């Protein structure tokens, strides 16, 4: 089943997983915005991997943090079947939807994990295990980096899908990014077919192992950002 199949759009609407109710708008706003992450992701991965002697993109492991209705992770999993995806979502209703869609679509490259990012980031099975982490519309960057960077391996990437002007968020997150062992590579404008026009992808490089104390206990990052 393709992402454009009515079952996907109607399922999103029926379970109230996004604020968008119109099927056409689900496709243009959410699917197009999700796919817009791919060009900066692949460009940054190729450039940086080539600098350390890599560059092969087959078999990339990617975790979508706060996947919600599968955006962008489920969309990317269809677009890149040779990659391995983990959809991380804390709400059981959303996880049930994701598991159903993954089964119906026969996506053998996708796992759904139902837990909080703060718990998963401290688990040996997931901590610093991914080549790339992505997140879209989850939290402010100074909170989001604590959810995502502990999951990324050294020399891996974290990519945050943001609106047209994320610079205040980027400045507020500088201290957190440094503490978590990363630096910002670039801010890329991405064209979106959605009604909000141009958006941005903020790309971070994981340079060092994240200190063991991060992420902190569930709820702490959002209440007390670094």
pLDDT at 52 (0 to 100): 62
* CATH at residue 115: 3.40.50.150
Is residue 55, in this structure, part of any structural domain at all? yes
Is residue 1, in this structure, part of any structural domain at all? no
Task: Report the C-alpha gap between 114 and 126 in whole angstroms.
Answer: 13
3-state SS assignment for residue 80? coil
pLDDT at 157 (0 to 100): 96
Task: Report the C-alpha gap between 28 and 206 in whole angstroms.
Answer: 32
Q: How many alpha carbons fall within 13 Å on the CB side of residue 40?
A: 25
Per-residue confidence in pLDDT tens, the chain, 226 aa? 455 544 454 455 455 444 444 555 555 567 888 888 999 999 999 988 766 656 678 899 999 999 998 989 999 999 999 999 999 999 999 999 999 999 999 999 999 999 999 999 999 999 999 999 999 878 999 999 999 999 999 999 999 999 888 999 999 999 999 999 999 999 998 876 655 567 899 999 999 999 999 999 999 999 999 9
Local structure of residue 31 (DSSP, 8 states): I
Is residue 104, in this structure, part of any structural domain at all? yes
Task: Report the C-alpha gap between 85 and 61 in whole angstroms.
Answer: 6
**pTM score over 0.85:** yes
pLDDT at 62 (0 to 100): 98
Domain containing 185 equals 6-223
Is residue 161, in this structure, part of any structural domain at all? yes
- Give all strands of the β-sheet with 61-65 in edge-to-edge order: 110-114, 84-89, 61-65, 130-136, 152-162, 199-206, 182-190
Q: Domain total for the chain?
A: 1
């Amino acid at each position: 089943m393709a992402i454009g199949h009515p079952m996907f759009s109607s399922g999103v609407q029926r379970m109230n997983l996004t604020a968008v109710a119109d099927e056409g708008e689900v496709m243009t706003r959410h699917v197009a915005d999700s796919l817009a992450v791919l060009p900066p992701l692949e460009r940054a991965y190729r450039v940086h991997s080539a600098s350390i002697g890599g560059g092969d993109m087959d078999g990339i492991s990617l975790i979508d943090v706060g996947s919600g209705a599968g955006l962008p992770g489920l969309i990317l999993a269809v677009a890149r079947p040779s990659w391995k995806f983990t959809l991380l979502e804390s709400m059981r209703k959303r996880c049930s939807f994701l598991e159903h869609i993954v089964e119906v679509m026969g996506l053998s490259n996708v796992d759904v994990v139902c837990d909080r990012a703060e718990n998963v980031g401290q688990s040996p099975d997931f901590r610093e295990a991914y080549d790339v982490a992505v997140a879209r519309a989850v939290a402010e960057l100074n909170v989001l980096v604590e959810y995502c960077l502990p999951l990324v391996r050294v020399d891996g990437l974290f990519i945050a899908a943001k609106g047209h002007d994320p610079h205040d968020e980027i400045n507020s997150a500088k201290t957190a990014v440094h503490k978590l062992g990363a630096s910002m590579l670039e801010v890329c404008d991405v064209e979106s077919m959605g009604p909000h026009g141009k958006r941005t992808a903020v790309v971070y490089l994981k340079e060092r192992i994240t200190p063991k104390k991060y992420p902190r206990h569930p709820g702490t990052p959002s209440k007390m950002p670094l």
